[in-house]
Amino acid sequence: MLIQRLTDILSSEITAPEIYRGRREFMRAAGTLALAGGLGLQVADAAAGVKLAGTRPGPYGTSEELTPYKDVTTYNNFYEFGTDKADPAVNAGSLNPRPWTVRVDGLVNRPGQYDIDALLKLASLEDRIYRMRCVEGWSMVVPWVGYPLNELIRRVEPLGSAKYVEFTTLNDRARMPGLRSPVLDWPYTEGLRLDEARHPLTLLAVGLYGETLPNQNGAPVRIVVPWKYGFKSAKSIVRIRFVEHRPISSWERAAPREYGFYSNVNPEVDHPRWSQSRERRIGEFRKRKTLMFNGYGEQVARMYTNLDMRRYY
């Protein structure tokens, strides 16, 4: 038997505590799901999605290995269904994504109520593989289905005074047990500058892996903004409002020192409680270098040329 002494081990080969804790958290989430199934509890069926026909390859993507479907649908941040990563998959079965309408109003010429099935038909659906980065330090590669949010923006004709877009998500205590927690000021709201919302990378997502969104991933419609931290991608949206003044998002309101409005992935600006310079891809236990703008700098950096990203984080 070869016994390796501690002095023979390179420091780079020692598992960092944060990686170990991330692995432990992931295993705990998996264990929670297994226990729930064994006890006969209601678990949202990740395989219950409906195939989205007629999708075409989108203009953006990555050749990186996809995060497995099971991981994408069982390791989530969706606080309306609980704060543990496994909670959404366990609790989101109570959400009914049909019927569903999204109200679009504010500073637009053509406000209206859009049924989810009408939204699906507004533009051709595209398959887009995006890197997704969580502020907590973990990341995924997800094959989303949707179309540019700008397709909807163009149709509602924003007024010249509209500078921002605010998203409001479902606030239903009967179906969302996490709303009983005071962790955030409900309903969940998020916002983007109008130019960010219009950027061709910003996706109005209605599916993943070629199927409709599972409840725990934000069914039936969510925003995906791949160069920002994941909490900027509002889930289960019921209202899109165009406004003149910058909205205050839920996480910004809860902890303004930790979660700024812009929330661009910037490895040079640390979260007050941890570094953002490295990340752990789900399924891997060694960390990798975090890319500026999550690797989408070529497409989006020009929007922030005159923005101090240490002050406007």
Tokens matching residue 144: 């989303």
Taking Cα atoms as reference points, which of 18, 8, 30, 2 lies closest to residue 280?
18
Residue 160 lies in a domain: yes
Residue 1 is predicted with a pLDDT of 35
Mark out the alpha helices in 157-238 (DSSP H runs). Answer: 194-198
The total of other beta-carbon atoms located within 10 Å of residue 194's CB is 17
Under 8 Å between Cβ of 27 and 185 = no
Residues 106-156 pLDDT 10s: 999 999 999 999 999 999 999 999 999 999 999 999 999 999 999 999 999
We report the CATH number of the domain holding residue 79 as 3.90.420.10
Mean pLDDT of 297-312: 95
Residue 3 lies in a domain: no
Q: How far apart are CA 127 and CA 143, in angstroms?
A: 7
Among 33-37, 157-161, 219-223, 290-294, the least confident range = 33-37
Query: What is the residue range of 39's domain?
Result: 13-304
Residue 177 lies in a domain: yes
238 φ, ψ to 5°? -120, -15
Under 8 Å between Cβ of 199 and 191 = no
Residue 310 lies in a domain: no
Residue 76 lies in a domain: yes
Q: Where residue 48 falls among pLDDT bands split at 50, 70, 90? A: low
Tokens matching residue 260: 């700024």
Residue 129 is predicted with a pLDDT of 97
Q: Where residue 61 falls among pLDDT bands split at 50, 70, 90? A: confident
Residues 207-219 pLDDT 10s: 999 999 999 999 9
Please indicate whether residue 184 or residue 28 has the higher confidence score (pLDDT): 184
Using CA atoms, how far residue 68 sits from 74, 77, 178, 208, 228, in Å, is 10, 17, 26, 11, 22
Number of folded domains in the chain?
1
Three-state secondary-structure class, residue 139: strand
Beta strands in the chain (DSSP E): 56-57, 101-106, 112-115, 126-133, 138-148, 164-169, 189-193, 203-208, 211-212, 222-224, 237-243, 278-281, 288-289
Residue 44 is predicted with a pLDDT of 46
Residues 68-111 pLDDT 10s: 999 999 999 999 999 999 999 999 999 999 999 999 999 999 99
pTM of the model: 0.86
Residue 267 is predicted with a pLDDT of 96
Residue 134 is predicted with a pLDDT of 96
Residue 7 lies in a domain: no
Residues 260-301 pLDDT 10s: 999 999 999 999 999 999 999 999 989 999 999 999 999 999
Residue 8 lies in a domain: no
Residues 218-243 pLDDT 10s: 999 999 999 999 999 999 999 999 99
Residue 20 is predicted with a pLDDT of 34
